[in-house]
Chains A and B, each alone.
Chain A
Amino acid sequence: MLANLHPYFTAGLGGILIGLASWLLWWGLGRIAGVSGIASEVIASPVQADSWRWAFLAGLILGGCLLGQGLEIPTLPERPLYLLIPAGLLVGFGTVWGSGCTSGHGVCGLGRLSARSLVAVGVFMATGMLAVTLMRGAA
């Protein structure tokens, strides 16, 4: 069913769900749905972390697993470790240092009209585009 819809339509609809989920966490718990913030708190102090963080991550991981299977996501062939590991380290270090990622700065921060988030989003989109361009050149 979903396969018949235009990708721009499912993208917009998915975006709306992401926005609703972020708003739900804000209105319900007064918390920003920043995935990097939530994950880094949990990994840094798994026992002391507030349990809502664990619950959010459990929903995210389990939901992704169940729904992703149903949709048969086409994925890239497995990428080499020398790309995956440095990329993961950069994303982990960068999101903690910069206080947010696509969800915290992008979806929530821009929604809250935060100037810091606007700057962060502009910068990470630009370096993301630059990295892709350089990778293209190297390939």
Chain B
Amino acid sequence: MSAAPHPASQLGLAFSAGLLFSAGLVLSGMTQPLKVLGFLDITAIRKGPFPGLWDPTLAFVMGGALCVTLLSFAWTHRISQAPLFANQYHQPNQRQIDLPLIGGAVLFGAGWGLVGYCPGPALASALLSTDALIFTAAMLAGMLICKTFLSKRAKIAD
């Protein structure tokens, strides 16, 4: 860990980003599991109108977010060598499409489809809904289990 150049600004910025993120989740409907399940339920496309109509709302959420990130991520690198309050951009450097990527996505998707929560909305609703709180606790446990499993495998590989 390198010394943070602007500790207070870093905290303020990260907190604001978290707030803005949650505002987007709540406004867009991502914190409502029914909407999420309604979007994932593509079999409803074939069914008649209401009820059971496929709910495309979530496509607009991803569309809106991608409009911003596709433009801004490319643009940020053109105008700045380093972030405002840190030394460098922490660019993910993995390139391989491997078993952990696919296997992890399979398991994540299955859990997402079971109840309609992914990590962001679950955390943003954790203080409002018992379902989200229980889900979040289990999710954090799952993360810890995977971290332990991965570090054990890394030790064996060494």
- Which A residues have a C-beta under 8 Å from some C-beta of B? 2, 7-8, 10-33, 35-36, 39-40, 43-44, 48, 50-53, 55-65, 67-69, 71, 73-76, 78-79, 81, 83-99, 101-103, 105-116, 119-121, 123-133, 135-136
Complex Cα gap A102–B17 (Å):
16
Complex Cα gap A67–B150 (Å):
37
Contact code string B15-45 (vs A, CB < 8 Å = 1, else 0): 1111111111111111111100100111100
Complex Cα gap A105–B106 (Å):
13
Interface residues on B, range: 35 or more
How many contacting A-B pairs (Cβ < 8 A)? 482
With A30-B88, A32-B90, A101-B119 as known contacts, state yes or no: A43 contacts B126, CB within 8 Å.
no
The answer to whether B21 and A97 have CB atoms under 8 Å apart is: no
Cβ-closest 5 pairs across A and B: A98-B104, A59-B18, A92-B142, A14-B28, A15-B64
Q: Which of B88-125 contact A (CB under 8 A)?
A: 88-90, 92, 94-97, 100-125
With A97-B100, A115-B97, A129-B42 as known contacts, state yes or no: A68 contacts B125, CB within 8 Å.
yes
The answer to whether B120 and A103 have CB atoms under 8 Å apart is: yes
Contacts of A116 in B (CB 8 A): 94-97, 101
Contacts of B11 in A (CB 8 A): 51-52, 55
The answer to whether A32 and B28 have CB atoms under 8 Å apart is: no
Complex Cα gap A95–B119 (Å):
9
Listed residue (A22, A86, A94, A113) with the most chain B CB atoms within 10 angstroms of its CB:
A94
* CB-based nearest A residue for B12: A55
- Which B residues have a C-beta under 8 Å from some C-beta of A? 1, 4, 7, 9-34, 37, 40-43, 56-58, 60-70, 72-73, 76, 80, 82-90, 92, 94-97, 100-131, 134-147, 150
Complex Cα gap A130–B85 (Å):
42
Secondary structure type dominating chain B contacts: helix
The answer to whether A67 and B23 have CB atoms under 8 Å apart is: yes
Contacts of B29 in A (CB 8 A): 7, 10-11, 14
Complex Cα gap A28–B40 (Å):
33
Complex Cα gap A56–B13 (Å):
8
Contact of B138 among A8, A13, A22, A85 (CB under 8 A): A85
The answer to whether A131 and B86 have CB atoms under 8 Å apart is: no
The answer to whether A16 and B21 have CB atoms under 8 Å apart is: no
The answer to whether A29 and B111 have CB atoms under 8 Å apart is: no
The answer to whether B17 and A61 have CB atoms under 8 Å apart is: no
Contacts of A61 in B (CB 8 A): 18, 22, 123-124, 126-127
Listed residue (A64, A98, A99) with the most chain B CB atoms within 10 angstroms of its CB:
A64
B131 to chain A, nearest CB (A): 5
